[in-house]
Amino acid sequence: MSDVKHPNQMAFSGKVLALSGGVGGAKLCRGLTAVLNAEQLTIAANTGDDFDYWDLRICPDLDSVMYALADLNDEERGWGLRDETWRTLIAMRRLGGDEWFQIGDQDLATHMLRTQLLRAGHSLSAATKQIAAGLGVTHTLLPMSEQTVATKVSTDQGWLDFQQYFVRDKCQPEVRGLRFEGADTAQLNPLLKNVLQDDELAAIVVCPSNPFVSIDPILSLPDCVGLLKEASAPVIAVSPIIAGRAVKGPAAKMMRELDMPATALAVAEYYGDLLDGYVLDESDVEYSDDIVAMGIKVCVAPTLMTDLPSKTSLAERVLSFAASWDG
């Protein structure tokens, strides 16, 4: 579970806020929970991917992080729960219903309970807290906002809802642009505002998630970027690109289609002056000088996370980087 500590746990004083999308971000978040106690870490998950399916509220990134923190995620498939079964989906297919979005039988319970709680008047934060507690997660996981923000993808086939692009169409359409419907009127989760204004905040970690569809929805919320820049803690991003490739997901493909080189350097340039520090994989050390020239400090480390020790090791490197800050 999330409160299991690494045998060589480092001492880190202060609190940490992690901004995360789904799979890649969830891996680093799991490493952070092995290093930090429940009072030290808050995770803000992207909810721009959220949508309704089978009249249930689906929150893919919240669930990916939550399942990873509970050590219940399916590492091989990259999403969902381990040891999943699919009898409901098979039955839906037999009946001729919609079944392009794969919901496993265990996963179904998460979406059912969330939908029940939301319809009963609970906030998404409260619903997330109750479900996470049921899975044994002790660290704080929060949606980026209590209001609905929906990521829309402009493609060569027209505008698509994110899950249509990502799951139904398997990221095959060419991406031409993005928009986040509702972001201009939504508000950053007040609980996250409190964390950002906490004098004990010692690090803000931008996880190795897709910058465009996982992190940008969070940054698009009013006042978010301003609060991040005003925070006393350094903002440190971990590159989601290793040697020109994304470990999981369409980030590199999207970068090329948006006329950006698929490099760790391009991600640093994209985040720009939001960042105080940047963690590069060892295979991308060639970009260090260019990133330092932008006024961003660099830490070079192995960033590929394949098991709990590698997740924990990267988390320790990120926190050691943050602890070395001198302003």
The reported pLDDT for the residue numbered 6 is 44
Looking only at Cα atoms, what is the longest distance across the chain?
A: 62
Name the token pair of 33.
Answer: 């929970």
Structure tokens at 258: 């948006």
The pLDDT score that the predictor gives to residue 303 is 97
Helix (H, G, I), strand (E, B) or coil at 171: coil
Long-range contacts of 180-184 (CB under 8 A, 24+ apart): 180/48, 180/149, 180/150, 180/151, 180/152, 180/216, 180/217, 180/220, 181/149, 181/150, 181/151, 181/152, 182/147, 182/148, 182/149, 182/150, 183/48, 183/149, 183/217, 183/220, 183/221, 183/222, 184/222
The confidence score (pLDDT) of residue 321 equals 96
Amino acid 11: pLDDT: 76
pLDDT for residue 154: 96
Predicted confidence at residue 4, as pLDDT, reads: 44
Given this model, what pLDDT does residue 249 score? 80
Beta bridge partners of 245: 242
pLDDT at 1: 46
What's the pTM? Answer: 0.94
H/E stretch holding 59: none
Which positions of the chain have pLDDT values less than 70?
1-10, 326-327
- Predicted pLDDT of residue 77: 86
Q: What is residue 318's predicted lDDT score, i.e. its pLDDT?
A: 97
3-state secondary structure of 15: strand
- Strand 277-281 and strand 235-238: pairing? parallel
Helix (H), strand (E) counts: the chain: 13, 14
By CB atoms closer than 10 A (0-12, 13-18, 19+), residue 269 is middle
Among 18, 124, 119, 7, which residue's Cα sits nearest to residue 68?
Answer: 18
Tens digit of each residue's pLDDT (9 = 90 or more) over 79-135:
899 999 999 999 999 999 999 999 999 999 999 999 999 999 999 999 999 999 999
Give the per-residue SS3 of 182-200: CCCCCCECHHHHHHHCCCC
